[in-house]
Amino acid sequence: MNENVIIYTSSLCGFCYRAKSLLKKKNIAFEEIDIDLDYRKRHEMIKKTGGRTSVPQIFFKGHHVGGCDDLYKLEEENGLKIFIK
């Protein structure tokens, strides 16, 4: 598990699956927090993102990256290479 990369997800979310797949493809370890079953974690995510309620919400070293599209944009700009071991 990697606390440097945290992704808030929901079990029925296709965008969550895409985001996790990209991280796995790049061999970037991450901590997944499923907000479906834990209202406190959902509230935590909303607070940390400034009010965003959609998933996924992704953080690198405490910095809010955004959602799935933001993660793929970061990948297009070679921004994920700093997280590859």
What pLDDT does residue 37 have?
85
What pLDDT, on the 0 to 100 scale, is given for residue 84? 67
Task: Write the CA distances from 51 to 4, 18, 24, 77, 82, integer angstroms.
Answer: 22, 22, 27, 26, 28
Residue 3: its pLDDT value, please? 66
Q: Which residues of 54-69 are buried (b: 16+ CB within 10 A; e: fewer)?
A: ebbbbbbeeeebbbbe
pLDDT, residue 80, reads 84
Q: What CATH code would you report for 5-83? A: 3.40.30.10
Note the helical H segments in the chain.
14-25, 39-48, 68-76
Is the overall model pTM greater than 0.85, yes or no?
yes
Residue 58 is classified by DSSP as E
Chunked mean pLDDT (size 10), the chain, 85 residues: 84 96 94 94 97 96 95 91 70
Q: Where are the domains of the chain?
A: 5-83
